[in-house]
Structure 1
Amino acid sequence: MDDAEAAVDALEQLGLTEYEARCFVALTRLPHATAKEVGQVADIPRSRVYGTMDRLRQRGLVEVQEGEPRTFQSVSIDTAVRVLRKEYESNFETVERTLRRMEPIYKEAQQAVWALSTHEQVTERVIDLVDNAEREIVLIVLGESLLGDELLAYLEEAAERGVSINIGTVVEPIYERIEDAGFNADVFTTDLIEWFHAMSGSPHIGRLLMVDRGPVLVSALHDERLPGVPNETAAWSDGINHGIATFTERVLTYELQESVGEAYRPDDDE
């Protein structure tokens, strides 16, 4: 795929039609052009050029000089990128705003256990739960590859907004990464964590997470399919009204009590 085709494909991904993308890319290669010339370079019927140009003009991507014939020129690349980025961000904000308005309708009544089948899905869910934490995060990590830079950054942000961060592990590089990150976190270990880590065979425990005594997640590490790429699956629940969620909440609460003793107290309303 050459640069022109790559640009057309990218513009289509941003919401332009194929003809709009082809006409705009054609114009960026010319100082200015008539509809006939645009059609020749873009390889689209001349009869479709005028309507396409009108739509591009309305989007702020093309300028028109009236005359016989009309001539067109693209805005500068900087302007085009700014216009498209603003439009993309506006669409993204609309999606977020409308989905958030709908969310209580279909989320509030659901407290189920959900399966995640890839390491990327597990990490995205862990980050989402951490990002929404208001009071407390309890995270047990038993694989060095399961505490990446992105997750560390979200944990740091949570600590900065006053969330209590508690991380259980026996993996020395994880201790070092948390220490190097420099945010306020209580790092602990218990006999059960050591037992989890010592278990052999596949699968074995990868991560356990509890946020605000509600949402919980348990992940398992399997034998790698690709070298250096974690093969992780998980189950998570946004409440503790199910067996696996209740069990995980009790285990994590017990482990936290074991690690900090009398300094730890469950929430008064629990």
Structure 2
Amino acid sequence: MTYGERMAANPDTIGALQRLGLNQYESKAYYALSIFGDHTAGRLSERADLPRPRVYDVLERLQDKGFVLIQKGRPVKYSAIPLSEAVQTLKKLKQSELAGELTRIDELSGTLHNKLRATAAANAPTADAVWTLHGREAIYSKIGAMISHAKTHVTIVSTPEGALSKWNAHSKELSKAKTRGVEIKFVTPLSNDAAGELTKIASLHTKEMPTRMVLSDDQALVFLSDNKSKPEDEIGVWLKSPHIVETFKQAIGK
């Protein structure tokens, strides 16, 4: 089997390398070095079917990504780093990129918050207006904000599984709220043993309610979807109404 035939015989491998984050030329170059061994740039361009003017750029990018070693000399040779090592380097690079992106998002959100705060009062949600949230990510983000801004109380009404899910997602916010003096209450048919760490922060009321909801000061978030819904199919409504919150609290009872 010729070099070209061996390269063409494994399109799935090339495709898998591309899914890792390499482009087509990088994938072909790394694959060729892996199966054929060390190569000069010129020889690699022939065997991996890479344009000669591009091969040095391709190899430099592979070195930056941790997939290729360069052996200085005359001529310069290139060698594939074992995939297990290359993947570890790639994961670290991706984690670093993600951390940088998250930092950028935080900085931008801080700037936007300051710019929008001056006009927020004019555009604030109307009292008693009902706002719909779609998907668990959006709903949980709103719950996190409700907890973070709570001054007096937070009440979470849910199924046992839902209560633990909300605790796992918001334990940090709930702990901080508790430190601020906020009263934290979970209403769910969950035993103290099953509740675990939750009981150190919140009072547990073992009661089953027909509706899942979160109450925080004068805000209420009520789940409209069934508790068996997929995360992406979850639907909730949020409103700011002291009257509605008080009505829900009375329905829940002590």
- For the 8 Å contact 1:146–1:207, the answer to whether it is kept is no
Alignment deviations for residues 150-187 of structure 1 (CA, whole Å, 9 cap, x no partner)? x3324444455572562343x42477642585543212
Tell me the equivalent position of 1:96: 102
Give distance in 2, aligned partners of 1:214 and 1:27. 64
Amino acid at match of 1:153: N
- Structure-1 residue corresponding to 2:204: 187
Deviations 1:56-109 (A, max 9, x none): 234444222245543211334454234323322222222222222221333353
Q: Are 1:53 and 2:59 an aligned pair?
A: yes
String of CA shifts for 1:236-263, please: whole Å, max 9, x gaps. 4xxxxxxx2134874389559963xxxx
- Residue of structure 1 in register with 2:133 after alignment: 116
Query: Counterpart in 2 of 1:251?
Result: 246
Aligned to 1:172: 189
| Residue among 149, 163, 167 paired with 1:152 | 167
Return 5+ residue gaps in structure 2 as ranges. 1-10
Could you state the TM-score of these two structures normalised by the residue count of structure 1?
Answer: 0.62
Equivalent position amino acid for 1:166 in 2: I
Query: CA-atom RMSD, angstroms?
Result: 4.1
Residue 7 (structure 1) aligns with: 17
Contact 1:139 1:167 (8 Å CA) reproduced? yes
After TM superposition, give the deviation of residue 4 of structure 1 in Å: 4.0
Residues 156, 75 of structure 1: alpha-carbon distance in 2 compared, 3 angstrom cutoff: same
Letter in 1 for 2:15: E
Structure 1: gaps spanning 5 or more residues: 198-204, 237-243, 260-270
Seen in structure 2, the aligned counterparts of structure 1 residues 87 and 40 have a Cα distance that, compared at 3 Å, is same
Report which of the two has the higher share of helix: 2
Cα pair distance change 1:7/1:61, threshold 3 Å: closer
Aligned AA (1:116): L
Larger Cα-atom Rg = 2
SS at match of 2:201: coil
Taking structure 1 as reference, are residues 162 and 254 closer, same or farther at Cα in structure 2, changes over 3 Å only? closer
Q: Which residue of 2 aligns with 1:201?
A: none
How many residue pairs get aligned? The number is: 229
| Match status 1:233 vs 2:235 | yes
The secondary structure found in structure 1 opposite 2:240 is helix
Aligned pairs for 1:17-96 (under 5 A) are: 17-36=23-42, 38-39=44-45, 42-67=48-73, 69-96=75-102
d(CA) in 2 for partners of 1:255 and 1:26?
A: 71
- Provide the identity percentage: 18
Code of the residue aligned with 1:167 in structure 2: it is K
SS in structure 1 at match of 2:33: helix
Q: Say if 1:130 and 1:155, in contact at 8 Å, map to a contact too.
A: no
